[in-house]
């Protein structure tokens, strides 16, 4: 089932095939998903991009997952952290949560559970008002529904994400690059004209 929500996720996993599979599965469900294969890249991407959730493997090269977790939990990002590990003892879970993780999932895991946990964490991320009103336009962020003059608007997931970004900006100019960052993932072509018309909404 494709999720009708705009959630951006960073998948941090050093096993390239597994990382790519998780990211592709999330994209199939309607998420925007980026990938980092080591701790250093994870920190760099998490600082540069507005992620809702970071799916973080604990055993990472370059910078250990524990250090990544602590850095992100104390740093300039409000992304929620879902820590993954091959060890699922109570002690390991407690240690991971004490490092700043918001949730913990042991390997191997069911993909459906990963999706459910990512969604649950994304709802806990600090956000603006649940319902935004601008004139005759009403946008329910939680239910992902929009209406104008009382009539429902039929919008795609991307269009809904663009609308939300513009409404939250509250009249401020939103550039095409900012829309790409917020609504699309890092695989979006920065020279694409996909959002050109969106700036006039």
CATH number at residue 52: 3.40.50.2300
3-state secondary structure of 80: strand
Q: Are residues 79 and 160 in the same domain?
A: no
* Predicted TM-score (pTM) of this structure: 0.62
Render pLDDT for 96-152 as a digit per residue (tens, 0 to 9).
Answer: 677 888 888 988 899 999 999 999 888 875 555 567 788 888 887 666 788 888 888
Strands 137-140, 145-148: parallel, antiparallel or unpaired by DSSP?
antiparallel
Same domain for 108 and 36? yes
Comparing CA positions, the residue from 158, 185, 146, 152 lying closest to residue 32 is 185
Q: Alpha-carbon distance 125 to 85, whole Å?
A: 23
Give yes or no: residues 22 and 111 share one domain.
yes
In degrees, rounded to 5, the angle at the alpha carbon of residue 128 between the alpha carbons of residues 42 and 41 is 5
- Residue 1: inside a domain, yes or no? no
Q: Which two tokens stand for residue 40?
A: 């250093």
Three-state secondary structure call for residue 51: coil
Low-confidence ranges of the chain (pLDDT < 70): 1-5, 76, 87-90, 92-93, 96, 125-130, 141-143, 157-158, 174-175, 177-201
Q: Which of 106, 124, 142 is the last residue of a domain?
A: 124
* 3 occurs within a structural domain: no
Residue 2 counted as domain residue: no
**Residue numbers of the domain that contains 135:** 131-200
Q: Quickly count: other Cβ atoms within 10 Å of residue 126's Cβ.
A: 6
Q: Are strands 137-140 and 131-134 parallel, antiparallel or unpaired?
A: antiparallel
The 151-152 sheet, strands edge to edge: 131-134, 137-140, 145-148, 151-152
Q: Which of 83, 105, 124 is the last residue of a domain?
A: 124
Q: 62: alpha, beta or left, given left = phi > 0 and alpha = psi -120 to 50?
A: left
Residues 16 and 113 in one domain: yes
């Amino acid at each position: 089932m494709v999720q009708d929500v705009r959630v951006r996720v960073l998948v941090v996993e050093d096993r390239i095939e597994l990382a790519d599979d998780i990211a592709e599965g999330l994209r199939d469900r309607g998420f925007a998903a980026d990938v980092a294969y080591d701790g250093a890249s994870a920190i760099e991407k998490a600082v540069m991009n507005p992620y809702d959730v970071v799916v973080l493997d604990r055993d990472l090269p370059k910078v250990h997952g524990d250090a990544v977790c602590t850095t992100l939990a104390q740093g300039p990002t409000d992304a929620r952290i879902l820590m993954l590990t091959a060890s699922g003892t109570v002690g390991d879970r407690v240690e991971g949560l004490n490092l700043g993780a918001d949730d913990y999932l042991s390997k191997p895991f069911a993909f459906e559970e990963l999706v459910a946990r990512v969604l649950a964490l994304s709802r806990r991320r600090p956000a603006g008002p649940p319902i935004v009103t601008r004139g005759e336009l009403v946008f329910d962020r939680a239910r992902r529904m929009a209406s104008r003059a009382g009539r429902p608007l039929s919008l795609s997931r991307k269009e809904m994400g663009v609308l939300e970004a513009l409404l939250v900006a509250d009249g401020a100019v939103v550039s095409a690059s900012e829309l790409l960052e917020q609504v699309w993932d890092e695989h979006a072509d920065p020279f694409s004209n996909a959002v050109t018309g969106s700036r006039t909404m």
